[in-house]
Amino acid sequence: MNPARWATSRAVADRWPAAGHRPLGEMLVAGLLPMVQLPPRGLWRTTAGVRYALVSSWLGREIDPPVPGDSDPVGQTLVRRYLAAFGPAASADLRAWCGLAGLPAAVSALREELVAFRDERGRELLDLPDAPRPDPDTPAPVRFLPAFDNAILGYHDRGRIIDDAHRGLSVEGARVVLLDGRVAATWTVEADTVLVTPLRRFSRADRGSVAEEGRALASFLSGDESDRVRISASSG
């Protein structure tokens, strides 16, 4: 363990003795100092331990200190990049995604270059002016998502993609299947077979579309041609 991390963890070990020195040190150092998690966190079909480094070490230079009254160009860049991936979205969605509460000034500074919409509940949704916004009737293909995918976690209002009854799946590490743009099933892998468990009743066309995409996933995971997909009986 890094000496600074060890000394930090020892200072609070008496208060949380059950946690252990390493978790305490990582939590405190990562929370108090600008840190990055070094890649690769994991490799294909295997995992690796978490490694941290100071941001200044990763960048090869010291971080510029904040300037009082500065317009926060870093925060504005973060807003732009978030909207490029997840817009249109509300300010609450941005906060839920990044965990930062100090971005209203960045949003305000960018407002003139953003476009605004209203959703069905009257909430303001912001987006980049040149971002793609498909017609609502555009077919959404079946997609198998990994655990903790940002397509779900990228929003505070996850009802746009997952029903409230299944919202807990988004933080339980479940891998889900999108059907017509919404979470409709979970999936796992057993040996070389992709197992799909519907969360609602599937039509024959639904089962066919999910099975087709599942076969593509099975082939990708096995490295050869595969049709090993099993869809359990639909619920609901």
User: Does residue 134 form part of some domain?
Assistant: no
Q: Answer yes or no: is pLDDT of 46 > 90.
A: no
User: Does residue 10 form part of some domain?
Assistant: yes
User: Does residue 66 form part of some domain?
Assistant: no
Q: What is the pLDDT of residues 98-122, one digit of tens each?
A: 888 778 888 999 999 999 999 888 9
Q: Higher confidence at residue 23 or residue 208?
A: 208
Query: Residue 191: what pLDDT?
Result: 81
What residues make up the domain containing 10? 3-59
Q: Judge if 149 and 224 occupy the same domain.
A: yes
Indicate which CATH number applies to the domain containing 100: 1.10.10
* Best CA proximity match to 235, nearest among 196, 194, 192, 208: 196
DSSP symbol at 121? T
Q: Answer yes or no: is pLDDT of 202 > 90.
A: yes
Question: For the chain, what is the domain count?
Answer: 3
User: Does residue 27 form part of some domain?
Assistant: yes
Query: Residue 210: what pLDDT?
Result: 95
User: Does residue 35 form part of some domain?
Assistant: yes
Query: Residue 201: what pLDDT?
Result: 92
DSSP symbol at 164? G
Q: Judge if 79 and 46 occupy the same domain.
A: no
Distance in angstroms (rounded) separating the CA atoms of residues 214 and 231? 9
Q: Judge if 50 and 88 occupy the same domain.
A: no
Q: Judge if 204 and 168 occupy the same domain.
A: yes
Distance in angstroms (rounded) separating the CA atoms of residues 165 and 159? 10
Q: How many CA atoms lie within 13 A of 66 on its CB side?
A: 8
Q: Higher confidence at residue 2 or residue 223?
A: 223
Q: Judge if 38 and 8 occupy the same domain.
A: yes
